[in-house]
Structure 1
Amino acid sequence: MNLEAGFAQVAQVLLWPVLVLVALAFVYALWAGGATLMEAWQRWRLPHYRSLRVAPELSMDELELQLVRQIEPVRLLSRLAPMLGLIATMVPLGPALQSVAQGQGQQALAVFSGAFAGVVLALAAASVGLVVYSVRRRWLLAELLAERKRRAEVLA
């Protein structure tokens, strides 16, 4: 067995786990998008709504870490989902191109359809993740700034 054949086999083994991760990323993106819409509604209805849990004993550094922990999952989603989509597209292309070379166009078309569906779902998940990350980051940074100002006023 040569090196290329070994790589091809490893890539084929990765396809199903990657497709499962793409599906999970898409479901998580829908959940995160819905949660962000719900939070936007709460912020609109309750002007003093806060998602950053501020305890008096927490330092500003600890609050910043809390902020990062809250938005890190959607940041990772927006960065990793396109890579997963690329893997989901590229792995089936080798066998599909072999099918085309052998004159089995219908079989290749079925493989291409599945591959492109994976990348579309991954890109949709990444897009939602990026929007959620951007919006929630802005909200949390505004809350952190307000807390800094509040603490500065208390000390003054």
Structure 2
Amino acid sequence: MLEAGFTQLTQLLLTPILWLLAAALVYALWMSGAVLVEAWQRRSPAFRSLPDAPELAFDEIELIVLRRLEPLRLLSRVTPMLGLIATMIPLGPALHGVASGNGSAALAVFSDAFAGVVLALTAAAIGLVLYSLRRRWLLGELLAIRKRREGLA
């Protein structure tokens, strides 16, 4: 009875996880556009994405950096896990199909399962590249702010 309950619960999780993976891929593509626009804007020497207002403590500016980086970091770390879940859920019924001699139905389930992991890894790869790029930019700006403030002190 417990095993049947777990099986039903995992089957119920598949659709929301697939929706989350679709949303993650859309977000990764949207952020790609945002980072491309930011890269274009950064060509100007006067471009600053971080506030350097004297009333802001340096710790507050660091927190702004973390808030800007966190969504991309989560995207690159969570989506592979969701992809693994989306792959594992259909594998149970697919293996039952293979064991009962219904290989063609199992093949369809396997292809759907692997499609979920491919979408997840695509979103994660995009997220990791964008995270790394944006992190380098923001840390460079943070260093420039620190140098300016130390020069003024």
Q: Normalized against structure 1, the TM-score is what?
A: 0.94
Give the structure 1 partner of residue 12 of structure 2.
Answer: 13
Give the structure 2 partner of residue 147 of structure 1.
Answer: 145
Give the structure 1 partner of residue 100 of structure 2.
Answer: 102
Unpaired segments ≥5 residues, structure 2: none
Aligned mates of 1:52, 1:109 — CA distance in 2: 51
Give the structure 2 partner of residue 38 of structure 1.
Answer: 37
Q: How does 1:7-156 map to 2 (within 5 A)?
A: 7-44=6-43, 46-155=44-153
Aligned mates of 2:120, 2:52 — CA distance in 1: 35
Aligned mates of 2:7, 2:50 — CA distance in 1: 47
Aligned-pair CA distance for 1:88: 0.3
The alignment yields a C-alpha RMSD, in angstroms, of 1.0
Aligned-pair CA distance for 1:54: 2.6
What SS does structure 2 have at the residue aligned with 1:54? coil
Unpaired segments ≥5 residues, structure 1: none
2:27 maps to a residue whose letter is Y
1:123 maps to a residue whose letter is L
2:8 maps to a residue whose letter is Q
Report percent identity of matched pairs.
67
Over residues 126-151 of structure 1, what are the superposed CA-to-partner deviations in whole Å (9 max), with x where a residue is unaligned?
A: 00101111110110011011001111
Aligned mates of 1:26, 1:55 — CA distance in 2: 35
- Aligned structure 1 segments of 4 or more residues deviating by more than 4 angstroms: none
Aligned mates of 1:7, 1:52 — CA distance in 2: 48
1:86 maps to a residue whose letter is L
